[in-house]
Amino acid sequence: MKSPFNIKHLEAFKAVMEHGQVSRAAAALFLSQSAVSKLIAALEEHTGLLLFERREGRLFPTEDASHLFRHLGAVFAGLQQLDREARLLRYKDSHKALFTIGVLPALASEFSAGLCRLFRQAHPDVHVSLVIGNSPSLRAALMEQRVDVVMMAAQMNHPDFLDQPFLNAAQVCVMPVDHPLAQRDCVSPSDLHQLDFVDYNPDGPSCRPIFEHHDSHPRYNIAATTAAMVIDLVSAGFGVGLVHPASAHWRKHNLCVKPFAPAVTSSYCLSYRSTGNQPNADLLASLNLCLELMVADSGIQCPTEISQQ
């Protein structure tokens, strides 16, 4: 009889898919790497599916894994809603407000930690909760009122919501420090012709039309679902990639970051319900101010135009 699986197995699977590495998934779950590997193996045993291919000590998701992952969001969305309702009841009894912020993995770093610190300094009596997810899951969470506000890579484009872009910038080219292009001052599409390229475009502008316009044909040997995964794959030697400069800002170890021209601009977006439908309007105004301070003090270089030398 196949062993049953539970929420722990699904959490391990979700973490590995989102972080791209067992080590990062284990750190996010506060588990050992061996514990995460055992949970993944147990899930594979129960489903009878090969979810990851093991190569050179790393896990690579199969098509079956990607298919299951697309349906996993609804499972965790329901659990998050149940948890939020329970916390609302608890904080209602304690007369303490609950403010939930949804963020992308790329921003779930020093940036979001600093933002929450500033916000808590202004509102010490408010309980802040962070929810991590990709843009589609964050959009769904905001629509279903499971979060108060989200910071994602796409706009809501809905009459009941306000979208406030921030950190608008030209994407940068990331590569290993010993890559041949690391000596360039700026990378162009022609530089990437026939070079291994980590593809990534869940929500933002695609770089492929620019490559085609310059008759450049990189080798799209692997694709990632998050900017964090792009950086991990680049660091592992799978080629180069294009990401928002904020994604690379706090992960520069063993990574070379170069401007890319012509510019492919993208931005993050702070989205929330319009004031008429928003009970936490005062907290949102305060979060906006904290966000402006964080962007100004972050040190992230955000040029929107690149001069190609």
H or E stretch at 197 = strand 196-199
> Cβ contacts of residue 231 below 8 Å, gap of 6+?
174, 241, 243, 247, 248, 251, 255
Domains of the chain: 7-69 (1.10.10.10), 72-167+267-297 (3.40.190.10), 169-266 (3.40.190.10)
Report the C-alpha gap between 293 and 308 in whole angstroms.
Answer: 31
- pLDDT tens for each residue of the chain, 309 residues long: 455 678 889 889 988 888 888 888 888 787 888 899 999 999 998 888 899 988 877 788 898 988 888 888 777 766 766 665 665 555 555 446 788 999 988 888 788 888 999 999 999 888 888 888 888 888 888 887 888 999 998 888 888 889 999 988 889 999 999 999 999 999 999 999 999 999 986 555 568 889 999 999 999 988 887 788 888 899 889 999 999 888 888 776 778 999 999 988 888 999 998 855 566 788 888 999 999 988 888 777 665 555 554
Cβ(99)–Cβ(88) under 8 Å? no
Q: Which of 123, 143, 124, 141 is nearest to 132 (CA)?
A: 141
Other beta carbons less than 10 A from residue 79's beta carbon: 13
C-alpha span between 231 and 243 (Å, rounded): 8
